[in-house]
Chains A and B, each alone.
Chain A
Amino acid sequence: MEAKLNAEKADWSEFPYLENQEDVISVQRGPQPGGVGGAYRAFGETLRGLRTTFARVLEGPVTIQYPEEKTPVYPRFRGRHKLHRFEDTGLEKCVGCSLCAAACPADCIRVVAAENDPDHRVSAGERYAEVYEINLSRCIFCGYCEVACPFDAITMGHDYEMSDYNRSDLIFTKEMLLAEPIDRAPLRREGE
């Protein structure tokens, strides 16, 4: 029901300049509650509500039953970190420069660098990370370490299932970060 405000104003002497003006605001008012019309409308609206909920049955559940079904993540999803090796030589990309640790706002990365032994090289550079630890209970998954790394040695993976019973178990060592995660999160396809 549309109502023109001007038509309803009782006293026009206060607003003489508005009397024959077209309305600026058009107010949409609901019908008056109560009465026979109200009961009739309430009945109709009840049926509309029942139809609405029944349509949900036909739609089917939208629940993703988590442990069995997983939400696919986007390619840029920032999950658990991964350390990388060169695919051809198998050497670690990390040279122990500690830039990631410097960039980390949560201060959760600890790097202890050591000189490479030329006979048994660990990394491609002069030095390598003897200790590389990320405390995932402190990590805020901002991805600054990934940005700071000059050799793309550390990237954010897609793995997000990291809960554990002990805080100490959440400190991931270099070996754990270098290993491929066992359960890989499903990746969102194009357009999904």
Chain B
Amino acid sequence: MSLPLADVNYVEATWVMVVKSIIIFLGVFAIVPILTVAERKLIGRLQNRYGPNRVGPVGLVQPLADIVKLAGKEMFRPDAAVPFLYAIAPAIVIFSGIITLAILPFGNVQDGIGLYGIDVSIGVLYFFAFSSISFYGLLLAGWSSGSKYSFLGAMRSAAQLISYEVSMGLALLGVVLMTGSLSLTSIVDAQGGIWNIVPQIVGFLLFMIAGFAETNRAPFDLPEADAELVQGYMTEYGGMRFGSYLLAEYLEMFVVSGIAVTFFLGGWMGPGPGWLDPVWMVLKTLTLVAFFIWVRATLPRLRYDQLMSLGWKVMLPLATLNILVTAVIVTVS
């Protein structure tokens, strides 16, 4: 009897895995700073203004200026904070953001190399496990800061987590039922004929809504809520620790969009030769990221009780109904 290790569909040499994980890591880390400036410019356009356009050509060097500014700041820690937890909380958030990148498939196996970090058979569960861990980062940050604002932000993120993680999982379950696999590559492969967004439009919408809550972005940015909680769990952070929260937010936005593309929008599928697959994947993901930004420029923040009632009274029943219908159809056909 073999050990109950995760069943991996395709195994390569160790050095190949190391190289491709470095490439994915660096590639996405190059995208994230561009996302920050793209968000500000796009929101500017959505509000009849230019956004940052002073630093460098059309403001493209803005993230560099931001990072240099943040990195040059003091690593401040308030007296009331719990030192170890205060320091480790941003690390947890960043870690869980990066590690979910591993399962994003940028293409199928080509020339013996799979264009993804790792193809785990528990794909979806892996994503949920690590995105839940990122909430520990927020909770610890809020609690260990020893500040009321931070604590309120942490409470809100905890409440948000339990309200939305459930519907998020159920929203993806429809696709899993249709495909019969949890592996992200098989899910994309199964979308060769028709993208899952057509039969699973309800699931897609629910996943996107839950994704906004998952990434703590407007209209579900209650844990941050700059107006009332002065950035919530991040209040007491400064310098690069604060920067790492921002980084993690954009990273998570990329990951959630990537998961949505993988599950509903056909992943790497697209016209053109095989080497275009990663390009299609990144393009689709960035389109969804632009949608995140668009929504942020449009919708106001929900009240706390509205968030709860949307999560439990609307999204959970809808997601359950969606699964029920999908399960019946899958069983019958």
Determine if B314 is an interface residue (Cβ-Cβ < 8 Å): yes
List residues 60-84 of chain A with CB under 8 A from any CB of chain B: 60-63, 65
- Which of B49, B50, B294, B314 is in CB contact (< 8 Å) with A54? B294
Q: Are the CB atoms of B294 and A65 closer together than 8 Å?
A: no
Given contacts A46-B299, A61-B50, contact A56 B45 (CB under 8 A): yes
CB distance from B99 to the nearest CB of A (A): 32
Across-interface contacts of A60 in B (CB, < 8 A): 48
Q: Does B47 lie at the interface of the complex (its beta carbon under 8 Å from any beta carbon of A)? A: yes
A56-B45, A61-B45 provided; 5 other pairs, C-beta below 8 A? A46-B298, A53-B298, A56-B48, A63-B48, A65-B50
Bound CA span A46–B208, Å: 14
Instruction: Tell me if B294 and A63 are in contact (CB < 8 A).
Output: no
Per the CB 8 Å criterion, the residue count for chain A at the interface is 16
Judge if A21 is at the interface, Cβ distance under 8 Å. no
Q: Would you give the 0/1 interface string for B11-47, flagging 1 where the beta carbon is closer than 8 Å to chain A? A: 0000000000000000000000000000000001111
Whether, in the assembled complex, B297 has its beta carbon less than 8 Å from a beta carbon of chain A, the answer is yes
A166 at the interface (CB under 8 A from B): no
How far is A46 from B205 in the complex, measured between Cα atoms in Å? Answer: 13
25 contacting pairs across A/B (C-beta < 8 A): A34-B309, A39-B314, A46-B299, A49-B299, A50-B294, A50-B295, A50-B298, A52-B298, A53-B47, A53-B294, A53-B297, A53-B298, A54-B294, A56-B45, A56-B48, A57-B45, A60-B48, A61-B45, A61-B48, A61-B49, A61-B50, A63-B48, A63-B49, A63-B50, A65-B50
For A59, the closest partner residue in chain B by CB is B48
CA–CA, A62 and B49, complex, Å: 6
Kindly list chain B residues whose C-beta atoms are within 8 Å of the C-beta of A63: 48-50
Interface of B is mostly: helix
Q: Which residues of A contact B295 (CB under 8 A)?
A: 50
Q: Kindly report which residue of chain B lies nearest to residue A58, judged by CB atoms.
A: B45
CB of A55, distance to nearest CB on chain B (Å): 9
Q: For A54, what are the chain B residues with a Cβ–Cβ distance below 8 Å?
A: 46, 294
A-B pairs, top 7 by smallest CB distance, nearest first, are: A53-B298, A49-B298, A53-B46, A63-B49, A62-B48, A57-B45, A61-B50
Distance, CA A34 to CA B50, complexed state (A): 38
